[in-house]
Structure 1
């Protein structure tokens, strides 16, 4: 319409051409093993352009062969006969080769440790000797001797596998033996002498340490007082440890202490002294000698049996007594506090 109110009109036909519907076959993300190929198939158009060109057998065809070495996203643009475009994308997730690693350990025989594999999704170990499982990354292993293992790892996509090796080194554990349990007279000094296999032992520990001559030596002496357990821990040059225990049960009876029935104090060094003797070391509360008329000739108190310096040398008032039969009494106390009294006769001979 003009400014004077005049009207006019014009008609023209407009043709709208359709866009193509471009698609790529299958999923929008595809898995591909490195060094493998995958056929891509685009449809819905007549002419094509793929980008990027890297890894494609062609960029202007509908179905290029894709062989990328790394993951990539490909764009395809397609034009129909009217030169109208459409596009689609596909992601190629390229799986790379794996590198499997394995670690072993050094252990003592019949101890346990763990193997460890890494770098894969699943594993198979061989041989299966000593393993808690052959299909986990970290099986527990217990062995008596050194063994080399192979582990094959798989990536989980059926693309790649890899193999690694590791060794479990097994050092010998010592075998220490204290022998059979002891039933032994109270007051005895007993030498503990363990037998050892797979030595040498470089560290000794004896527990508990009371009544032992040493706690870190190979063969301590034990003074037997009361019922107890003795524990020994032996460590060899490989750091492997062995333990054994010994039950010690002391006993006291009247036959433990004995007295001679005659002695000859003539200075020849043989049987010159009369004194309490015993199996083991027993405390003597008193030791007394009388003549036939009941007169006290000799007395000693608070010492231990088998100590000749507390014995009677046959002297009375500094003079060797005359040959005769004399009477003695002895009171002893065992390590378990049991008391025994001994009375008897002894002949003094020339």
Structure 2
């Protein structure tokens, strides 16, 4: 029927009577009730129930609400706009207007997230006396920014790394790694076992021992200790960590406290025990040696006094360098050198030691290396000594008479011939030493006369002159001749190297022509020898 106004007339077909018309309005009250449905969350390890929210749907007195599961079964008792569910599936809300029988529906999926993270607490670990800390490695577990970690333990202890995949533990126990997915709260755990072996081995160093002069060594026995290939043996003496033996039986010659160390190589654990080796008090253990060296090097007037013996029991006998024993503890007339002392007490216990009797005053006098000089050259001689001058009794040079100060440590000499000089040093103890040095004199005759000169007043090689070294005393004569034998220049008795006594290239007030001239010179040397030199010289203007 469509909505609108309707009129009804009743007609009696027999009599033809017609009733008065009656009117009726038909109204369309049908509609779709409003329905709104949402799921507030997702089911996971944190959220155990999700609220289905129908708020915003049609309301009113004739309105009722019906809930249906995924199998289209109506859920009993569910008649409000909200409903809590604990399973993940599709749910439907029907909004029904009981006055008009109009209804609407909406469906929503309830999702779930039960993604548990992977967890691996790693391999079991073991603690012992060497391995004091172990790493609990859970790095193969789930990784990610939404993942967190927590270590827990029974009878253990974590010293670092809690809250990470790798933790450090230092006690035995059962450790649990829990990996948590912070997005859904799902967590899983795995365990790792930490065991420990810190059982020490047994160590027994045996009985204490005693060393005396008739028993220079004793044997320490650790045979009661733990034995086997897994055990390492070591002995130490006193506070010195150096090992003095590595067997259970140890022969020693030194007194002191010996410690036996037994180490179990399987767990690194060590035990120790001590045995004391006593030194018998009757054996001599030392002597005060008072040496007196010889007066001078090489002398035999040294001596030694053995003043006090330490330990043992007197009276004592003494032997020097293997000689017969004697009661006297003083030895005289000894040269320098090494000596051996053997001391024997009344119980025939002995003590042996060595000492060195230093040499006497070893004077040093060094005049240096030999020298080679040119004739006329002066050389200084240095006397090097190894004592202060205050300890010098006498010092002399010999035998040269040209030395002006024969007691000076530094002198100048200028021999004309090769000569050997000597010196002797005596100290206040009467010790004497000598040394020699030789001065070789080389007669080089250091004379130079040019073979060309240019008297053109340019300041360069303008004078023909004689050049000589220190071995030249004087020039006795110097003459220059032209090619006809006529002397053009002559000078007598002058020092070499002086241009004032040279030829300027002039003769009788006039410059000489370019030519070759002949010259003669008599030169006297410091050793008294006079040599005639001659040659020619070219004059070039």
What TM-score comes out, normalization by structure 2 length? 0.31
Larger CA Rg, structure 1 vs 2: 2
Give the structure, 1 or 2, with the largest relative contact order (CA under 8 Å, sep 6 or more): 1
